[in-house]
Amino acid sequence: MASSTVVVGGGIAGILAALMLKDRFENVVLIENSDELGGLLRSDHYDNQYWFDKGTHIPALTYNEEINKYLFPKQLYNENLWLRFSYLKPGNYFNNNLNNESSSIDITSYGKEKYCKMLIDLFNSNLEPKLHYINAYEQIMDLFGETLTREVFDQISYKFFGVSLKKLSQDAFKLVFNPRIIAFDEKKTKEFKKIKFFDLRLSLRSPIINESITYFYPVEGGINLWIKMLEEKMGNKGIKILKNTSISDIKLKDGNISELILGEGNECLKNISHIVWTAPTHLLAQRYKIINIESLKNESNQNLKRATYLYHFICNKPFLTDRQYVTCYDPIMRTFRVTLYNNFQKSDQFRCSVEVLSEDNIAIAEEIIFKELITMGIVSEDTLIEKSYSYKLGSYFPIITPYMEELHSNIVNTVSDKISNITLVQRSGNQFFMADVLENVYKCVSKIIKY
């Protein structure tokens, strides 16, 4: 019997891994627990006409041409089916103001006294940031001083992560906000940014467009069409895809995984040469008792993830902003991020999705979320909801704490010590964006192929 190379996890990381492995190995099997591939790059389709994505995830060409070759086939350049952008149009809501130019926080919206206090703290912050910090609070303090850290960034941390910056690891905040601020007009900012100290801290009101980046989005439908395209590519290459398939047990022999027991035990994969695991590692460790998760939990019993709820709306009027997505930094509001599909696609359906981060099993009424869209100035007061859909997406949003990183490190080390024919590939603490994750997958799988 020919050996099989197995990829566990059918998100974009698993898809890239499977396509790369197929160039080297004859039998490649991709296992996905759900009924669709793509992870958060999936879409909801209602009444055979309304499309919404499960998050703001717009694919873009990477700086690695090999990755692009695998994930961005020539069909994406069909202008009748796919839109191309050289930049995205983000916005944000902060301090009762909708910023229609940038995702960066604008402190000029504060009154003169607080604004001056923030500037004084900023000018007195450390000249050279350190390489390593105990936590994110110390890191932000080093960049911006006490007032901005305590009254702005720490409040944002509580909103998105449910904890203070003091609980988060260094750089964890990059998952939700750009660590640069708007503090002056465009002319002054350009002069200040010639100095390294200010360049690290200040953002232009109108960000410089990077024309070398190309984003893709379908003319009609949701982003899952990209995943469907890649699924078809994998099928044409002969990659075996097992959806709706869980791994109930593993068999070890001489320090290698020899068999995977699937589902309720009625099927198994034998003669396994190597496994690339792109699903969360703590699930592997806990399910197969490779490591005792409970023994690693500290006294505070910290959560690893926050729940994400999705609210899809179809409105009867156009939106009041041309931004493609808006991040809400207001600490009182529930909204995390709004995706405005009509600002990607030409459509007479005025569709948007609102992501809300919350504790498990605490859903917010749709009326409250829609009122926040009115308050932010995204929809007008006389706009009506024609249709709405809402549900809990799952507990996916990571709370990146030193404990979480220690847990991840312990799992990786223990699994690597116990099993020789497995490669663990998934998002680590400093990988916040799709391009970072894909580059990590590419590096890890390249080692397997070369070996």
> d(Cα 437, Cα 125) in Å, to the nearest integer?
32
DSSP E strand boundaries for 120-235: 181-182, 215-218
How remote is the C-alpha of 352 from its chain's centroid? 18
b/e 204-227 (16+ beta carbons within 10 angstroms → b): beebeeeeeebbbbbeebbbbbbb
Asked if 276 contacts 6 with a C-beta cutoff of 8 angstroms, the reply is yes
pLDDT given for residue 432 in this prediction:
59
Pick the more confident residue, 397 or 431: 397
Tokens of 44: 């909801």
| Eight-state DSSP code of residue 304 | S
Asked if 260 contacts 272 with a C-beta cutoff of 8 angstroms, the reply is yes
CA 128, 103, 146: angle at the middle one, nearest 5? 40
Tens of pLDDT, residues 18-48: 999 999 999 999 999 999 999 989 999 999 8
Percent of the chain's residues with pLDDT above 70: 93
- Bridge partners of 391? 310
Tens of pLDDT, residues 301-338: 556 788 999 999 999 999 999 999 999 999 999 999 99
In the chain, the amino acid numbered 30 is L
Q: Token pair 């020899």 is at which residue?
A: 258
pLDDT given for residue 294 in this prediction:
56
189, containing H or E segment: helix 186-192
Tens of pLDDT, residues 81-122: 999 998 899 999 999 999 999 999 999 999 999 999 999 999
How remote is the C-alpha of 201 from its chain's centroid? 23
First-residue to last-residue Cα distance in the chain: 22
Alpha helices, DSSP H, located in 238-391:
281-287, 293-296, 366-376
pLDDT given for residue 300 in this prediction:
43
pLDDT at 420 over 60: yes
> d(Cα 335, Cα 369) in Å, to the nearest integer?
7
pLDDT given for residue 74 in this prediction:
93
Domains, the chain, with CATH or none = 4-46+53-57+223-298+400-450 (3.50.50.60), 102-199 (no CATH), 305-398 (3.90.660.10)
Q: pTM of the prediction? A: 0.92
Give the gyration radius of the chain's Cα atoms. Answer: 23
> d(Cα 388, Cα 314) in Å, to the nearest integer?
6
pLDDT at 182 over 90: yes
Tens of pLDDT, residues 202-228: 999 887 776 678 999 999 999 999 999
Span 169-191, average pLDDT:
92
Coil, helix or strand for 416? helix
Q: Is 413 exposed, middle or buried (0-12, 13-18, 19+ CB in 10 A)?
A: exposed
